[in-house]
Amino acid sequence: AQTVTQSQPEMSVQEAETVTLSCTYDTSESDYYLFWYKQPPSRQMILVIRQEAYKQQNATENRFSVNFQKAAKSFSLKISDSQLGDAAMYFCAYRRATSGTYKYIFGTGTRLKVLA
Amino acid sequence: EAGVAQSPRYKIIEKRQSVAFWCNPISGHATLYWYQQILGQGPKLLIQFQNNGVVDDSQLPKDRFSAERLKGVDSTLKIQPAKLEDSAVYLCASSLSSGTWIKRETQYFGPGTRLTVL
What tens digit of pLDDT does each residue of A39-60 get? 998 768 999 999 988 888 999 9
How confident is the model over A7-39, as pLDDT tens digits?
999 999 999 999 999 999 999 888 889 999 999
Nearest to A31 by CA among A2, A67, A59, A5: A2
Q: Is the N-terminal amide bond of B81 cis, ω within 30° of 0?
A: yes
Least confident range of B39-53, B78-92, B102-116: B102-116
**Residue A106 confidence (pLDDT):** 94
pLDDT over threshold 90, residue B86: yes
- The bridge status of strand A3-5 relative to strand A24-26 is antiparallel
Q: Scan residues 29-88 of A and list those with Cβ closer than 8 Å to B.
A: 33, 35, 42-47, 50, 52
For B73-99, what is the mean pLDDT?
Answer: 92
Report chain A residues whose CB lies below 8 A from the CB of B110: 44
How confident is the model over B22-80, as pLDDT tens digits?
999 999 898 999 999 998 889 999 999 988 889 889 899 999 999 999 888 999 999 99
Contact B33, B107 (CB under 8 A): yes
Which amino acid, residue B67? A
CA dist list (Å): A20 to A56, A110, B34, B87: 19, 11, 30, 32
Nearest-neighbour CA in chain B from A14: distance (Å): 24
How confident is the model over A67-112, as pLDDT tens digits?
999 999 999 999 999 999 999 999 999 988 765 556 789 999 999 9
How far apart, in whole angstroms, are the C-alpha atoms of residue B40 and residue B4? 23
pLDDT over threshold 70, residue B1: no
Mention every residue, 6+ apart, whose C-beta is less than 8 A from residue A91: A6, A36, A37, A38, A39, A45, A106, A107, A109, B42, B43
Q: Which residues pair with B22 in a beta bridge?
A: B7, B76
Residue of A nearest to B106 (CA): A47
**CB-based contact A35 B105, cutoff 8 Å:** yes
Other C-beta atoms closer than 10 Å to the C-beta of B57 total: 17
DSSP helix, strand, coil percent of chain A (3-state; round to 5): 5, 50, 45
Residue B96 pLDDT grade (very low, low, confident, very high; cuts 50, 70, 90): confident
**Residue A70 confidence (pLDDT):** 93
Eight-state DSSP code of residue A86: G
